[in-house]
Amino acid sequence: MFISDSICSWAASAHLLFLIALLSGLISADILPQTITAYVSETVMLPCSIPVDEELPTVEWSKEGLSQNITILYRDGCETFGMKNSAFRYRTNLVLDKLKDGNISQIIYNLRLSDQGRYQCRTLRGRQWQVHAMLELKVVAVSEPKLTVVATAAGDGVTLECKAVCWFPEPEVTFQDVEGNEIKANNPTRVSNSTECLTVTRKANVQTPINRVICRVHEKDLNQTRKTEIYIPGILDYNHN
Ligand SMILES: *[C@@H]1O[C@H](CO)[C@@H](O)[C@H](O)[C@H]1NC(C)=O
Ligand SMILES: *[C@@H]1O[C@H](CO)[C@@H](O)[C@H](O)[C@H]1NC(C)=O
Ligand SMILES: *[C@@H]1O[C@H](CO)[C@@H](O)[C@H](O)[C@H]1NC(C)=O
Ligand SMILES: *[C@@H]1O[C@H](CO)[C@@H](O)[C@H](O)[C@H]1NC(C)=O
């Protein structure tokens, strides 16, 4: 069958595996990919489960579009590292104490934007591969916007700058007054980060009597919104005088 490159093998009987393969049928049901959205640097679990059996089959998770597409391979009672894609080294695992319940979900730690894509969960019994789950992972990068006063013009307001640092996908940055009315702003500038995320900066000249301004950063595809508010005391004092 295969050559075990793991040290902790509990020699599975080839005959038994072959029998199970015959009994377990040949066809995987049609599997509709499920979408999971998670944040950069977080931990995510991609669910997959199989019927409980006496013996755990070989479990393989792979990611579409990679030449070496295995993200975790578990066989004969332990993880086999030889074919694992190096981008996932030390970053994937199975829920080891749940394997006996047929829970073969994959955990990915310290998510990267490049982890985005389609994953497949399958098992091998004897010579029989069976696909159990397909998952579409979306990874988003968000942060709280930074809203600051960058210039004051005598008598007629201030220039505010709102910075959305390291977002992905690219968000829209808008300024609003407390009633939610949009305040006119300059065209945004975007800088792409070495880590593939984007920093979007936008400026607005705010006239009196507005004294509280909200910067809203919104990414519509994955429906991510972060808001920051600034209170401009100088303008309030001006109004009161
Ligand atoms: C697998 O186990 C984990 C940890 O207990 C649990 O959170 C998850 O819901 C389980 N997934 C499935 C598919 O059973
Ligand atoms: C990974 O590669 C294997 C072998 O080429 C292929 O059968 C499998 O479908 C690939 N996985 C994904 C998720 O594309
Ligand atoms: C790149 O992203 C990091 C956070 O991941 C941030 O600290 C840095 O300021 C960003 N650089 C640019 C040019 O956006
Ligand atoms: C976007 O998220 C907000 C809450 O964060 C929710 O109220 C709203 O219904 C969502 N919109 C869409 C289109 O999913």
Cα(225) to centroid of ligand 1, in Å? 29
Rounded to an integer, what distance in angstroms lies between the CA atom of residue 167 and that of residue 139?
11
Closest Cα to atom 8, ligand 1: which residue? 47
Q: Is 64 exposed, middle or buried (0-12, 13-18, 19+ CB in 10 A)?
A: exposed
DSSP 31-86: ---EEEEEETTS-EEE--B----SS--EEEEEETT-SS-EEEEEETTEE--TTB-G
The DSSP H or E segment spanning 116 is: none
Give the pocket of ligand 3 (CB within 6 Å).
165-166, 191, 193, 195, 197, 199
Rounded to an integer, what distance in angstroms lies between the CA atom of residue 208 and that of residue 156?
6
Q: What is the pLDDT of residues 35-87, one digit of tens each?
A: 999 999 999 999 999 999 888 999 999 999 999 999 999 999 899 999 999 99
pLDDT at 17 (0 to 100): 41
Ligand nearest to the CA of 106: 1
**Mutate which of 50, 61, 98, 132 for ligand 1 pocket (most atoms within 8 A of beta carbon):** 98
Write down the pTM of the prediction.
0.78
DSSP, res 18:
H
Rounded to an integer, what distance in angstroms lies between the CA atom of residue 60 and that of residue 124?
8
Ligand nearest to the CA of 137: 2
Cα(65) to centroid of ligand 2, in Å? 8
End-to-end CA, the chain: 87
Closest Cα to atom 1, ligand 3: which residue? 193
Rounded to an integer, what distance in angstroms lies between the CA atom of residue 184 and that of residue 53?
63
Token pair of 46 as six digits: 């991609």
Q: At residue 16, what are phi and psi to the nearest 5 degrees?
A: -65, -45
134, 127, 126, 130: which is closest to 28 by C-alpha?
A: 130
Ligand 2 in reach of 120 Cβ (< 6 A): yes
Mean pLDDT, range 15-19, rounded to an integer: 40
User: Of 2-6, 54-58, 177-181, 199-203, where does mean pLDDT reach its minimum?
Assistant: 2-6
Answer yes or no: are the C-beta atoms of 205 and 212 closer than 8 Å.
Answer: no
Ligand 2 in reach of 69 Cβ (< 6 A): yes
Rounded to an integer, what distance in angstroms lies between the CA atom of residue 201 and that of residue 79?
45
- Which residue segments constitute the domains of the chain, with CATH numbers given? 5-140 (2.60.40.10), 146-231 (2.60.40.10)
Cα(88) to centroid of ligand 3, in Å? 23
Amino acid identity of 113? L
Closest Cα to atom 9, ligand 1: which residue? 47
Quickly state the pLDDT bin for 135 (edges 50, 70, 90).
Answer: very high
pLDDT at 238 (0 to 100): 45
